[in-house]
Chain A
Amino acid sequence: MSSLLEVRNLKKYFFLGKGAGKEQNGVVRAVDGISFTVKKCETLGLVGESGCGKSSAGRVILRLLTATAGEILYEGQNIEQLSHRELLPYRRKMQIIFQDQSGSLNPHLTIGNALGEPLRVHRLIYRKEELKAKVEHLLELVGLSPDQMCRYPHELSGGQRQRVALARALALNPQLIVCDEPVSALDVSIQAQIINLLKELQQKCGLTYIFIAHDLRVVKHISDRIAVMYLGKIVELSSKESLYARAKHPYTQALLASIPRLTPSVRRQPLIFSGEPPNPLNPPAGCHFHTRCPYAFARCAWEEPLLQAVDFDHSAACHLLDR
């Protein structure tokens, strides 16, 4: 498997306040120098708590937000620097689906129009019948019946809307889809349907996913490799098996320990941190996690740990690894 996307030292800072003297109002380092590669046809899970920058990362990669620094290499081409026009071919190859299925579809467009529009705008299909056939094909692909075409988004259920959003993303035959919490707003019984659909499509269309989520069960089910983020940085990056079996970073361990189990008889003794995630405007020095870490020692407070390999396809950023 060769790499499809490579991200090098990507940064996205948000400056608060407006007008002059922006910096004094504070900087949120939403994405603070992350690097990873995504191989063809794999699923990279991006997990972390709210505000850790996982969503921003997804959007920066698609250039929906402008990066503050860093490189985004798509099949070796740095798309960070491309102009609007030069970017167009890449827009076709990379798509996104969102958490909020009701907000991600234009309420004033019928399903048919929403799906046909990208094809027309990119001048892939001109003829009306052909367009209709293609839209029908797309609907079938995501498990909807073609007579949904004249419906409006508000006439569909949440699960159906998410299917439409997926169909729209697929319209341009992309290679990479960023899935930004695609199932977390759905009912439990619908979640499984969408997850299955995503997996099915991946095989059928040879898709690569960046799967952003906070639900560790779902991520485990769908991902091949997983990156754990904390306050804008990747703290652990590993293959799924290795991560769930041998998490190295205390934060990852905490996350895994916090997942409620499905077995009522076993009352687990969860690893609970007293603290809360720090204010992203003013993250702690050194290792961002040291204020909540039960194993923190002096070095953690002043020196930032770097991501280092601990195993085959498994790296973590923690000073404990040096001990």
Chain B
Amino acid sequence: MKSGLLNDFMRAFQKNRQATFAAAILLGIIFFAIFAPVFATHNPTYIRLAQEQIQLPPTALHLLGTDNLGRDIWSRMLFGARISLLVGFLTMLITIIFGVAYGAVSGYYGGKLDFMMMRFVDISLSLPTIFLVIILASFFKPDFFGIAVIIGLTSWMRTARLVRGQFLSLKEEEFVTAARALGYSDCRIIFVHILPNVRALIIVNATLLVAQAVLLESALSFLGFGVQPPQFSWGSMLSASQQIIFLEEAPWTAFFPGLAIFITVLCLNFFGEGLRDAWDPKLKNIAS
């Protein structure tokens, strides 16, 4: 990013107050996740099964109350944030790396190769991601890293398609033809000439991917196929509330982790939207 473009971008981004606000909240959440041990009031995995310890409503001692096993919800939320965010970020990385590479090759070379590669994407896209993820998760019983890999490997298709579309149209641009006339190698054209023009789109897509990954991971953990104890994420904290009885007796056990997911995803979406508007209003329809 060169200074001229960066300035334009920052100017546009700062005009968007929602996005700036969202970015600030996100930074706050990340800060709390990193320094979880500092802010935690209890051991997040310590179980107290005495009747007067479980399902306590929020008090000064237990800021957000305790869950059905007597664990402190506030402390669990802090540590759960680490897993939730980490999975989101890792998934995004995997998706972007794989999706961009796949899309770039398919779009740049075109022809029969592109046809075959895109058929495969179409086929993969016609299966609900959650099916594959659940099948894999139920057989492999992965840790959080495994979850990230599984989600990443089942959600790169849209990114690939997006990047491919951009490559397909950009390679027809005359600056690419000029680059070929100047005898540049394919590798150079892809990375130096085309990729920077897709960069904005990829970054926006990456932000939205983190949001989607956080949502998917929490849904998976909620259903019991995500991270397994003793590891836990925001999603798995809600898991017990599937039983109506727990929801009835202690709604706060479900309320706070869900709220955390909601706010994080919301901020990520606003942030991504802000990036998109700041970079190029023309991208509006295609980056999701």
* A121:B182 contact, CB within 8 angstroms: yes
0/1 interface trace, chain B 175-199, chain A, CB 8 Å (1 if under): 1011111111000100011001100
Q: How far is A59 from B181 in the complex, measured between Cα atoms in Å?
A: 9
* A106:B180 contact, CB within 8 angstroms: no
Residues of the B chain whose Cβ atoms lie less than 8 Å from the Cβ of A18: 115
- Chain B residue nearest to A87 in the complex (CB): B183
Partner of B181, one of A95, A107, A117: A95
Q: A151 → chain B, closest Cβ, in Å?
A: 8
- Chain A residue nearest to B110 in the complex (CB): A18
Q: A319 → chain B, closest Cβ, in Å?
A: 38
Mark out the residues of chain A between 147 and 205 whose CB falls within 8 Å of any chain B CB in the assembled complex.
Answer: 152, 155, 165, 168-169, 171-172
Interface size class of A (residues with CB under 8 A): 20 to 34
Q: B182 → chain A, closest Cβ, in Å?
A: 5
Partner of A165, one of B173, B178, B179: B178
Residues of the A chain whose Cβ atoms lie less than 8 Å from the Cβ of B196: 106, 108
Q: How far is A110 from B1 in the complex, measured between Cα atoms in Å?
A: 11
* B175:A106 contact, CB within 8 angstroms: yes
- Is residue B38 contacting chain A, with contact meaning CB distance below 8 A? no
- Is residue A211 contacting chain B, with contact meaning CB distance below 8 A? no
Q: A147 → chain B, closest Cβ, in Å?
A: 14
- Chain B residue nearest to A118 in the complex (CB): B182
* B174:A100 contact, CB within 8 angstroms: yes
* B181:A94 contact, CB within 8 angstroms: yes
Residues of the A chain whose Cβ atoms lie less than 8 Å from the Cβ of B173: 103
Q: How far is A64 from B171 in the complex, measured between Cα atoms in Å?
A: 12
* A98:B174 contact, CB within 8 angstroms: yes
Interface size on B, residues (CB 8 A): 20
- Secondary structure call for the B interface: helix
- Is residue A88 contacting chain B, with contact meaning CB distance below 8 A? yes
- Chain A residue nearest to B189 in the complex (CB): A106
0/1 interface trace, chain A 82-108, chain B, CB 8 Å (1 if under): 000001100110111010100111111
Q: How far is A169 from B177 in the complex, measured between Cα atoms in Å?
A: 12
Most chain-A Cβ atoms within 10 A of its Cβ — which of B2, B115, B181, B193?
Answer: B181
Q: B203 → chain A, closest Cβ, in Å?
A: 14
Residues of the A chain whose Cβ atoms lie less than 8 Å from the Cβ of B183: 87-88, 91-92, 118, 121-122
Partner of A62, one of B115, B174, B181: B181
- Chain B residue nearest to A171 in the complex (CB): B182
- Is residue B5 contacting chain A, with contact meaning CB distance below 8 A? yes
Query: Can you pick out 5 interface pairs between chain A and chain B where the beta carbons lie within 8 Å of each other?
Result: A19-B115, A64-B180, A117-B184, A121-B188, A169-B178
- Contact surface of B with A, Cβ cutoff 8 Å: 2, 4-5, 115, 173-175, 177-184, 188, 192-193, 196-197
3 tightest Cβ-Cβ pairs between the two chains A and B:
A91-B183, A104-B174, A108-B196
A19-B115, A87-B183, A98-B178 given; 7 more Cβ-contact pairs under 8 Å: A96-B181, A103-B173, A103-B175, A107-B197, A109-B193, A117-B184, A121-B183
